[in-house]
Structure 1
């Protein structure tokens, strides 16, 4: 449904990503952020799903073409740990937002796993965003403080998760509340990456419930 496109970052360099268009003028936009596997078909499929729901969706390729197979967690960890999260947010992610705003009145960000952490950073650092949705991803506080989140944030977390553990979610939610931030928190009796239908951890009931909540949230904040 979508296609790979180039776009310009704030620093003037060219990045690439996968764009799925809603097919209507002035559609709101969603920047979709990949898991630690890279910009693979499942993330592209989510962009297509956003497009069918009426959003122009662009997933910037934060690994510059590298895609990791699901069995190779060591390679995925190496790629993630070599990524400069702040630079990626300020350049590729913000550039994607600016690209979408050429045809959209408002744009949000939604990310999964590693991309969920990038989403929270983007909610702090990218002025173009009007809303943010994180799936099972929380950055370290030195990268993004809850008090610095500047847009409404919706969070979806699994109760069986070592990456974004319930304890980390509790601490993040408490800090968001203490800072007076707009934070909608949902928890699911599922495992990390329950939205990824290509993996055995996929939980259809949780994924469909989360998707409905995302649709409602985005319609409230970006149209």
Structure 2
């Protein structure tokens, strides 16, 4: 829906395209088969770092393949530590970010959330129009954002919306339990977070693949 300019980087599986929206231009990283069903992946508070790119490459290779896209909401900036990531998120133009994201899709066939519940003024789950699957760690302690109470409240709102939905809570797992690169595991330990259960990670990926294959293959 927006005009873009693209180029290939030979050392990366990604194509980086530039999207023009209103009076701003932002990069979007794309990987996967051009004619595959598209999935827009939203960065964590760190920005478009190596871990979110790892996830996107994996998504592109699931099942028969998907085309995965990451809009760079921070405009090239990446948080290297907690303080910097918090500063970037606190300074994010949230309404503009929503416009960035919605501009990349023509129609939402399904959605999946990991460890996060959106603010209702940005995206009210009770008004959802597409099937939603969500994943949370039982030991997540980010109050008001991704802890178990928020997960259960999300489930109630999705029930009210009437859309197909699943909310999965993984026993013994904390926040960001899907992040498995060596660097991120060490970063999480430095933040006092638990090492996660690999079986739960694989189960979540299996559920992700089944959900997206079902709803995006129509």
Aligned to 1:207: 201
Deviates more, 1:168-177 or 1:11-20: 11-20
Aligned to 2:150: 168
Aligned to 2:61: 52
For the structure 1 residues 13 and 140, does the alpha-carbon distance in structure 2 shift closer, same or farther, using more than 3 Å as the test?
A: closer
Q: CA deviation at 1:176?
A: 1.7
Q: Structure 1, unaligned stretches of length 5 or more?
A: 99-127
Q: 2 CA distance for matches of 1:83 and 1:14?
A: 15
Instruction: Please tell me whether residue 30 in structure 1 is matched to residue 36 in structure 2.
Output: no
Higher relative contact order (CA 8 A, sep 6+): 1
Which is higher, the Rg of structure 1 or of structure 2?
2
Instruction: Please tell me whether residue 196 in structure 1 is matched to residue 205 in structure 2.
Output: no
TM (normalized to structure 2)?
Answer: 0.80
- How many residues align structurally? 189
1:118-129 pair list within 5 angstroms: 128-129=107-108
TM (normalized to structure 1)?
Answer: 0.78
Q: Structure 2, unaligned stretches of length 5 or more?
A: 1-11, 186-194
What is the CA deviation profile of residues 35-85 of structure 1, one whole-angstrom value per residue up to 9, with x for unaligned ones? 10010111111111122220111111111111112xx21211111111122
What is the CA deviation profile of residues 189-212 of structure 1, one whole-angstrom value per residue up to 9, with x for unaligned ones? 201000011333443211110000
Aligned to 1:133: 112
Runs of 4+ in 1 over 4 A off after TM superposition: none
Q: 1 CA distance for matches of 2:160 and 2:152?
A: 12
